[in-house]
Chains A and B, each alone.
Chain A
Amino acid sequence: MAAPTMDRSTSAAPAAVQTLTIAKALNNGLRASMEANPKVIVMGEDVGKLGGVFRITDGLQKDFGEQRVLDTPLAESGIIGTAVGLAIRGYRPVCEIQFDGFIFPGFDQIVSQVAKLHFRTQGRLKVPMVIRVPFGGGIGAVEHHSESPESYFAHTAGLKVVSCSNPADAYWMIQQAIDCDDPVLFFEPKRRYYEKGQVDTTAAPGPLFESRTLRTGTDVTLVTYGPMVRTSLDAAAAAEEEGRSLEVIDLRTLSPLDLAPVYESVRRTGRLVVVTEAPSESSISSEIAAKVQQECFYSLQAPVLRVTGFDTPYPPSKLEEEFLPDLDRVLHAVDRSLAW
C-alpha cells in the first residue's frame, strides 16, 4: 500500500514529507480539497474567524472567503440539513460538529435525509457531504464533550463512517472523504490532535475504505481505530518487552468494515482483542466479535475479547482515566486471551 504508514518514519524523507500534527494535517487536507474543487465548502460553528475550537479550519476563511467557510448559526440540525440542500445543488459541504455529544440534534437529518436520499431516489440524488466529528475522551472536558457515537452511524445504511489515527491518514482521508460521492461521517481522535507524524503529500494514498496492519505479530491480534490506535501500539511495544508478539490493525473504516485483514490475522494468531473507547453493548466491537467468530471459528484459540469504555454515560473527567482503555487494560486482555 502506497499510503504513508507509521513505520516509514525511518526511511529517507523526500522533500514532500513534512512533520505535522493531526490537526495541521487535517487543516492542510481541507485546504488541498478546497483548492482542487471550488464546490467544496466548510461550514459549522466557529469554523471561520476562530478557525474552529480545535483550529482545524484555521486560516481557511481568510483565504477562501465567507461563502466557502461559513460561520453558521448554532444549531446542528441546521448545519446538516442545509448541507443536504447544498449537496443536492452541487456543492460538497464539509460540516464540522464541534464535539461528539453535539451531533445528536443533527441525528434526525443524518439518518432520515443524509443517509436515505440516494436510495429513496434510486440514485438520482447524491449527497456527497462530510460530517467531521472530533470524538472520544481523554482531554478532561465537561460532559457531552468526550463521547464515541460512531456505532449509531455505522448502524445506519447509506452512511459511510471512517476514523483517522495519524497525521498521514488525516491528511489523505479527509480529502478522500470529500471526494466520495457518499456521505461520510469522519471521526477525528481529538485527544490525538496534537500528536505529530510524517505526511508525504506526494505519495498516492491507499483506498479510504480499507483497514491497515500497522504492526505485524504472531501471538494476538489487536483491532482498533481512532484514539485507541496509539494506545494499542504502545501496548504492543510493551508486550514485546515481555516476549509477546502482537499484531495491530487500524480499522480506519467503520462502515463498511474491512475485516478481511482481520480474518487473515486471526487465522494466524488464533486470538483477537478489540480495543475501542466506545461502550461495548451493540457496537462496532460487537460487530467485529460476531463476524470473527463466524468467519474464524475453527482458528480461534480463545474467545474474542473486548477492551472498551463501559456501558455507562461518559463519566466526569476525574474518572475518565478509569473509563478509558489504557495500556494496562489492553495487556490484561492479552494475558487473558493467551491464558485460555
Chain B
Amino acid sequence: MSSPEKWTHPGPDAAPATAAKPTAEQVIAGLRATDEGGADLVQLLTPEGERVQHPDFDIDITAEELRGLYRDMVLVRRVDREANALQRKGELGIWVPLLGQEAAQIGAGRALRPEDMAFPSYREHGIAWTRGVKPTELLGIFRGTDNGTWDPVEHRFHPYTIVIGNQVLNAAGYAMGQKFDGKVGDADGEATICFFGDGATSQGDVHEGFVWAAVYDAPLVFFCQNNQWAISEPTERQSRLPLYQRARGYGFPGIRVDGNDVLATLAVTRWALEECRQGNGPILIEAFTYRMDAHTTSDDPSRYRLSDELELWKLKDPIERVKVHLVKQQWADQAFFESIEAEAEQIAIELRDYCVNLPDPPAGRIFSEVYAEGNPVLEAQRDEFLAYHAGFAGGEH
C-alpha cells in the first residue's frame, strides 16, 4: 500500500490547487491503493461481465436468481439517488449515499435467512431492502421526524447505529445469545451479521467485538465494507495491513471479496453464515468496494480524492457488469431491463411523495418511550410542557 502522504491533498502551505496538479506518481499511487484487491480477492464476475470460477467459493446461479439480484441493485440505487436528490431539494436534512456499494449489500443481504439477525451501521439501505424494510421507513431519521421507524424485531434488522462501531459489540452479544439458546450447530441454526466500514476498524468497540466473538465462538459474520474512505481518511490511515488479514490475529478466518461483484459477495457471505450456523464462527469478510459518492451529503470528496480514482471505479460498476452478463447469457432482454427501470421509477415516485408528505411528529414524541416503565419526574415535565404548548392558539400535541 502506498503512503498516504504521497497522494493526499496538498497542505495549506502548498501552492494553489490549480498549480498543484498531482504528479503521475501520485496518481498511480492513489489508484493502486484503491484499485486492486490483491491476489486473495474472491471474484466470480469480472468488471467486463465475464463469469470466472473460484475453487472454494463458486456458486450455482440461475437466470431468475441473477435477474433478481440485478433488480435489487437497480432499485436500491434508484432509492439512493432519489433520497440524495431529496436532500439537495431540502426535503431531507442529510443523506448517506450507498452508490457503488449495491453489490456488497445485496450480495450479503440475500445470503441471509429470515431467522438471521443483521446489525447495520447507517449506510445499509441495501441490507434494509433485503430485510423487507420499506425504503420509506429509512426516511424518518434523515428528515428528522423520527429515528428510523422499522420494527427491528419483525425484520430482524437492528436500528441504524450512528456512533461508529457500537453495533459490533451489540451484534457480538446477540450472537452469543443465539449460541446460548442452542441455535448453533443444527439444521435450524441462526447466525448474526454485522456491518461496519473500514474506518470503524480503528474503533475499540470493533476490536473488542472481535475478541468477544472469538472467545465465545459466537455465530457472527463481521462484514466490513471497505469503501476506501472514512470521510476523508483513506484506509491507509486505519491499518498497515489489508483489513481481512486482521482476523488472523483474533483467531478466525478473514476473507477479502470483490465487493462490486454481487455473485462473489453472495457466495462468500452464504458460506460464512453457514459456517457460523454450524458453530465454526466468527468470520470476517472484507468487501473491497468503493464509495462512488460523498460520505454524506454534507461532504465534498473533491477536496480529498482524485477524480481519476472515481473514473477508474466507474469501470468496476457493480450493476453494469451484471447487466452485461445477463445480456451475454441471453438471460434478459430489453423488455426486462425496461420493466426494472419502470419499477425503479415508481419506487422513486412513492419515496418522494411519502417524504414530502411525512408529517412532523407531535410535540409529545419528545417524551414518548424514553423509559419502558415510566419516570414520574419526566412525566411531570412532559405534562407541564404539553399544558404550556396547548396554551397557544391552534396548539396541538
**Which residues of A are interface residues toward B (Cβ below 8 A)?**
41, 67, 72-73, 75, 77-78, 80-91, 93, 105, 108-109, 112-113, 117-126, 128, 157-158, 160, 180-182, 255-258
Contacts and interface: CB of A to CB of B under 8 A. Distances in A.
A73 B173 CA distance: 13
Contact of A78 (B158, B169, B180, B368): B169
Contacts, number: 137
B23 to A, nearest CB: 42
Given A89-B181, A118-B369, A118-B371, A125 B153 contact: yes
B170 A85 contact: yes
Given A82-B172, A157-B370, 14 more contacts: A78-B208, A78-B209, A82-B176, A84-B170, A86-B177, A88-B158, A89-B177, A90-B177, A118-B369, A120-B159, A121-B369, A122-B146, A123-B372, A181-B373
Contact of B173 (A75, A84, A181): A84
A160 B374 CA distance: 10
B148 interface: yes
Given A124-B151, A182-B373, A85 B146 contact: no
Nearest to B148: A120
Given A112-B163, A113-B166, A125 B171 contact: no
A210 B307 CA distance: 63
B147 A85 contact: no
B65 to A, nearest CB: 31
B176 A85 contact: yes
Contact of B215 (A73, A83, A157): A73
Interface stretch (B256-264, B350-358, B375-383): B375-383
16 contacts: A41-B180, A77-B169, A77-B205, A78-B205, A81-B166, A85-B171, A85-B172, A86-B173, A118-B372, A119-B370, A120-B147, A121-B147, A121-B152, A124-B151, A256-B375, A256-B377
A84 B170 CA distance: 6
A124 B159 CA distance: 10
B373 A81 contact: no
B70 interface: no
Given A86-B176, A91-B177, A91-B180, A109 B169 contact: yes
Nearest to B204: A77
Given A77-B204, A78-B212, A126 B169 contact: no
A75 B208 contact: yes
B211 to A, nearest CB: 5
Interface string B179-208: 011000000000000000000000011001
B200 to A, nearest CB: 13
B149 interface: yes
B175 interface: yes
Given A85-B171, A120-B147, A126 B372 contact: yes
Contacts of A77: 169, 204-205, 208
B196 to A, nearest CB: 13
Interface secondary structure of B, over-half rule: helix
B178 interface: yes
A93 B211 CA distance: 19
Given A73-B212, A86-B173, A158-B371, A256 B378 contact: yes
B205 A109 contact: yes
B147 to A, nearest CB: 4
A117 B158 CA distance: 10
Contact of B170 (A81, A120, A182): A81
Contacts of B158: 88
A116 B93 CA distance: 21
A181 B177 contact: no
Nearest to A120: B147
B179 to A, nearest CB: 9
Interface in B315-348: none
Contacts of B205: 77-78, 81, 108-109
Interface string B17-61: 000000000000000000000000000000000000000000000
Interface string B100-122: 00000000000000000000000
B144 to A, nearest CB: 14
Contacts of A80: 169
A81 B204 CA distance: 11
Nearest to B194: A85
A88 B159 CA distance: 12
A117 to B, nearest CB: 7
8 closest cross-chain pairs (CB), A and B: A85-B173, A81-B169, A89-B177, A82-B173, A85-B174, A78-B208, A181-B372, A123-B369
A157 to B, nearest CB: 5
Contacts of B147: 119-121
Contacts of B170: 81-82, 84-85, 88, 113
A2 B170 CA distance: 39
A182 B371 contact: yes
